[in-house]
Copies of this chain bind each other. A is one copy, B any other.
Amino acid sequence: MAMKVAVYRREHFNAAHRLHNPDWDEAKNYKVFGKCNNPHYHGHNYELEVKLVGEPDPETGYVMDLKILSDIIQEDVLEKFDHKNLNLDVEAFKNLNPTAENIVVVIYNLLRPKIDPAYELQVRLYETPRNFVEYPA
């Protein structure tokens, strides 16, 4: 009988972004995105929570060594996102609006191939302490 345990690792990164739809004119962008549309960007301290579900290994007592998970997040997400401008510096947002929803899906897609498919994976992203998102829901 499977004894599934969830393990979570929390990391953070600081980044600039702006919300903008290039198919819309300036007025509509401002109407929809308000001050988040500032062409000079604004920024956040993002907090990232990565959840894996699996069975603890009987030899280690770990579902996964969280130090190894932390290294994967560091290499595959933080190196690309931390102290960056999401719109200008991150390939995935060249043609994708960096809302929290789109960022969390991009991060999931970066991590999924690096994590053994035996583990369920879920990602939560705090844009501020009062606004956050989770994928898959």
Interface residues of A (CB under 8 A from B): 3-12, 14-17, 19, 21, 23, 32-36, 38, 40-45, 53, 56, 59-63, 65-67, 82-85, 88-89, 96-102, 104-105, 120, 128-137
Contacts and interface: CB of A to CB of B under 8 A. Distances in A.
Contact of A45 (B41, B128, B137): B128
Contacts of A59: 21, 23
A62 B4 contact: no
B16 A43 contact: yes
Contacts of A88: 40
Nearest to A52: B137
Given A14-B44, A44-B14, A45-B45, A38 B85 contact: yes
